[in-house]
Structure 1
């Protein structure tokens, strides 16, 4: 893992620590789901909401909870960074480690269900929910829309998430997916 990845993971940690107590807990992961579901405006018992909640529960169980080195039920920044260093070593594992949650998230962000995330959908989720400013959202969106179509298809979105978690290119647009990272 590199210093750039450490910076990106710290940015992700700040967003994942929903209650701001300095730890990621299963409740934080659930609150992330609830925030996305509320911003989407779907019923908590709807299929997209249920799939996201289930996917995030699996993400907690398979990715975050194993990082809890002291067994206290919460993961601090050091534990998470070390956990990512151990878990996210091989981009070939993306389909098993990250893709299922990314698919659920994509479906939730795709408000009109057309199989693409347009700039307004992207902004709603990353500005209103993840706290990424509207200006940053526009900049990041434009960089991630590699084919210039005005929307992110599922492949572009997966490429961005994989680039964020596994990439080490300081110029990669996905570095700022979860907020501006000071590089």
Structure 2
């Protein structure tokens, strides 16, 4: 368990607790999907929205729900942090644990279907639906665009999520993917 991971997971928790009640429930996970679908303007009956809903349901069942150690149907920050450290300990499992949901999000963010996420698409989804400041969106996008092409391809997007969920480097490009984290050692 590292301090950097704890800060990143705390930042992710803030976004995942959609209703702001201090816990993540299956309803928050559903609302998260709806928030991203709505921000993107995708129809709730679209194939992408359907795949996202299924992917998030699997993410809840396989990753988040097992973190509920007291069985109350709610995952608080402590349970989530400890659960992520247990569940996401092995980066070689990324393709089973995070990859399918990441592909759904990629397809949802890539509105024009050109198989890359441009700066504006990134800003819309992480800024509007993810509550990340425009400045942070721009800085994160630039850091994640590893080849300098002006867009994130699927591999760069997966690399960012792999780095965010499994990495512990405070200077890694994806550290602030879901918003600026506090500096290590600073109060949050």
TM-score (norm 1): 0.99
The match for 1:62 is 62
Which whole-Å CA distance do the structure 2 matches of 1:140 and 1:46 have between them?
Answer: 29
The match for 1:100 is 100
Which whole-Å CA distance do the structure 2 matches of 1:42 and 1:90 have between them?
Answer: 33
Which whole-Å CA distance do the structure 1 matches of 2:85 and 2:136 have between them?
Answer: 27
The match for 1:44 is 44
Question: Which deviations, in whole Å up to 9, do the C-alpha atoms of 1:39-70 show, x marking residues without a partner?
Answer: 11111011011000110000000000000000
The match for 1:181 is 181
Question: Which deviations, in whole Å up to 9, do the C-alpha atoms of 1:136-176 show, x marking residues without a partner?
Answer: 10010000001000000000000000000011111101000
The match for 1:84 is 84
Root-mean-square deviation (Å): 0.5
The ranges of structure 1 where at least 4 consecutive aligned residues each deviate by more than 6 angstroms after the TM superposition are: none
Which whole-Å CA distance do the structure 1 matches of 2:13 and 2:40 have between them?
Answer: 22
Give the secondary structure class of the aligned counterpart of 1:176: coil
Matched, 1:161 2:161: yes
Q: Which runs of 5+ in 2 are unaligned?
A: 184-188
The match for 2:71 is 71
Equivalenced residues, count:
183
The match for 2:111 is 111
Which whole-Å CA distance do the structure 1 matches of 2:75 and 2:156 have between them?
Answer: 30
Which whole-Å CA distance do the structure 1 matches of 2:172 and 2:91 have between them?
Answer: 16
TM-score (norm 2): 0.96
Which whole-Å CA distance do the structure 2 matches of 1:9 and 1:169 have between them?
Answer: 13
Give the secondary structure class of the aligned counterpart of 1:168: coil
